[in-house]
């Protein structure tokens, strides 16, 4: 508890959405690693948890676990899987934030993940080759990461980064290489669903960049939805201001009050004419001052 309060909670409170996303993914990964130790006692809790957080193409199961197209994008089981995804997310997330807002990043991460899940579900229920393969589960942030990569790459295709072996290379080439690898991997029996989801995320990232250059933000609806959800759960501060309600003044009462005030002002003016301003009391001076400011 002390580690969470001292180290993790302050990070989550920061407005740096990129770090928040990485921390959430790491925390989920560490949780799954921790419960995986139960296999030593021949109790498999991990598979039970995965059924509740990883998504599936089986429509009969998806009805019961309808939230999984959202939760799967924060789930990793293998160390190399989360390491690769988080490094790519951090590198391209920094480039993305050079041109777009943190809200755009968070919304596009979710939008790309949802698009990847949708394409995965549609593909594995319509294309004959995949129909017999839709009994498994899919997890990982790859589709969300691909959305960030393609948005940055197609918005600023000429921007370069330095790779350890290849030297300076344009980010558009990195995005295209990743896309080609996923396209080739679709026909394989290994992680075909993951490759399909990657393409769904990449398509959303490409669409975001192209529409943004035309003055349209396709994530604005998701930004508003997230804001409304966050504001709904925010504690509302109690107002310390006391409000007193008065009965509405009738025309008769208003006219009577105005006539009384005018008569009093006329009396004060007559007193000034007869004895001078210095003859007024403090109360009379205040009434005259208030009347002059109306």
> Does 219 map to a domain?
yes
Residue carrying structure tokens 């072996």: 165
> Does 177 map to a domain?
yes
More confident residue, 267 or 242: 267
**Structure confidence at residue 271 (pLDDT):** 80
**Structure confidence at residue 186 (pLDDT):** 87
Q: Looking only at Cα atoms, what is the longest distance across the chain?
A: 108
Q: What is the mean pLDDT of residues 261-273?
A: 79
42 phi and psi angles, rounded to 5 deg: 60, 35
Q: Are residues 158 and 90 in the same domain?
A: yes
Q: Are residues 161 and 282 in the same domain?
A: no
Please say whether the beta carbons of 11 and 19 come within 8 A.
yes
Q: Are residues 144 and 270 in the same domain?
A: no
> Does 248 map to a domain?
no
> Does 140 map to a domain?
yes
Please say whether the beta carbons of 146 and 198 come within 8 A.
yes
From CA 197, how far away is CA 274, in angstroms rounded?
94
Among the residues of 36-136, which ranges form H helices? 45-53, 59-64, 68-71, 79-97, 102-126, 128-131
Task: Assign 245 a pLDDT band (cuts: 50, 70, 90).
Answer: low
The predicted model scores a pTM of 0.74
Residue carrying structure tokens 């199961």: 61
Task: Using the predicted structure, report yes or no on whether residue 46 has a pLDDT greater than 80.
Answer: yes
More confident residue, 255 or 88: 88
Task: Using the predicted structure, report yes or no on whether residue 277 has a pLDDT greater than 70.
Answer: yes
- Give bridge partners of residue 138 from the DSSP assignment: 55
Domain of 201, in residue numbers: 2-233
pLDDT in tens, 197-215: 999 999 999 999 999 999 9
From CA 294, how far away is CA 290, in angstroms rounded?
7
Residue 53's nearest CA partner among 78, 28, 24, 86 is 28
Give me the number of domains the chain comprises. 2
- Give bridge partners of residue 167 from the DSSP assignment: 163
> Does 239 map to a domain?
no
Q: Are residues 158 and 287 in the same domain?
A: no
From CA 167, how far away is CA 179, in angstroms rounded?
21
**Structure confidence at residue 284 (pLDDT):** 80
Q: Are residues 167 and 260 in the same domain?
A: no
From CA 85, how far away is CA 88, in angstroms rounded?
5
Q: Are residues 193 and 268 in the same domain?
A: no
> Does 242 map to a domain?
no
- Dig out the tokens for 113 from the structure: 């993940």
> pLDDT over 70 for what percent of the chain?
85
Maximum average pLDDT range among 6-10, 180-184, 261-265: 180-184
- Dig out the tokens for 253 from the structure: 């009462």
């Amino acid at each position: 508890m002390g580690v969470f309060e001292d180290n993790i909670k302050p990070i989550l409170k920061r407005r740096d959405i990129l770090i928040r996303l990485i921390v959430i993914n790491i925390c989920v990964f560490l949780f799954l690693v921790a419960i995986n130790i139960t296999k030593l006692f021949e109790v498999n809790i991990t598979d039970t948890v995965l059924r509740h957080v990883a998504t599936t193409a089986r429509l009969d199961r998806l009805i019961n676990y309808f939230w999984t197209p959202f939760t799967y994008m924060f789930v990793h089981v293998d160390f190399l899987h989360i390491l690769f995804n988080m490094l790519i997310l951090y590198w391209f997330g920094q480039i993305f934030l050079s041109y777009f807002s943190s809200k755009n990043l968070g919304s596009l991460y979710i939008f790309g993940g949802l698009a990847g899940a949708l394409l995965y579900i549609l593909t594995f229920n319509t294309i004959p080759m995949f129909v017999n393969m839709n009994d498994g589960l899919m997890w990982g942030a790859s589709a969300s990461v691909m959305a960030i990569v393609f948005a940055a790459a197609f918005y600023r295709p000429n921007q370069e980064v330095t790779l350890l072996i290849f030297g300076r290379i344009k980010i558009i080439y990195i995005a295209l290489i990743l896309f080609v690898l996923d396209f080739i991997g679709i026909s394989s029996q290994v992680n075909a669903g993951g490759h399909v989801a990657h393409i769904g995320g990449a398509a959303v990232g490409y669409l975001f960049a192209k529409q943004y250059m035309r003055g349209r933000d396709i994530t604005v609806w998701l930004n508003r939805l997230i804001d409304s959800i966050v504001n709904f759960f925010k504690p509302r501060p109690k107002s310390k201001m006391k409000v007193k309600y008065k009965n509405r003044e009738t025309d008769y009462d208003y006219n009577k009050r105005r006539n009384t005030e005018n008569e009093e002002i006329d009396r004060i003016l007559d007193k000034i004419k007869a004895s001078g301003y210095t003859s007024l009391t403090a109360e009379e001076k205040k009434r005259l001052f208030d009347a002059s400011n109306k």
